[in-house]
Amino acid sequence: MSKSSVGLIGAGLLGQSIAHCLLRSNEAVIGFDIDPQRCLELAEQGAQTVASAADVCQQCRTIFLSLPDSTVVAEVIERIRSKLQSGDIVIDTTTGNPRDTRASCWPRGESLTWTLPLLDRAFRFDPERD
């Protein structure tokens, strides 16, 4: 496990491209996709793959989401929520509705700090901040 590894959840066309750019920039990438073929493609590029989205979150403090839609983002956030740590950065590149993503991240009043306002879709998890 490396604190400097970048996580990737979702390795479709966009996720594969994100992994490619990160790996080309000498970033270590740890990824997961529900499709084993997509995980194999990530590994062929040089990424490490893991068995679940939660495993990505246990090993990475910066995580890209590249998922089909906002509904899937909400499902994944619910699965990984307990693995996120204060200060983690999640960058959602999903083609979806930002309002739906925000709603799925704040259903219980968790505090999130937006770290990249121009992208509008990146958030920093901070459960201790009011």
- Whole-model pTM: value is 0.81
Per-residue pLDDT tens over the stretch 33-72? 999 999 999 999 999 999 999 999 999 999 999 999 988 9
What CATH topology corresponds to 6-122? Rossmann fold (3.40.50)
The pLDDT score that the predictor gives to residue 86 is 82
- Which is higher by pLDDT, 130 or 4? 4
Tell me the Ramachandran region of residue 59: left when phi exceeds 0, alpha when psi lies from -120 to 50, beta otherwise: alpha
pLDDT in tens, 29-44: 999 999 999 999 999 9
Predicted pLDDT at 119: 40
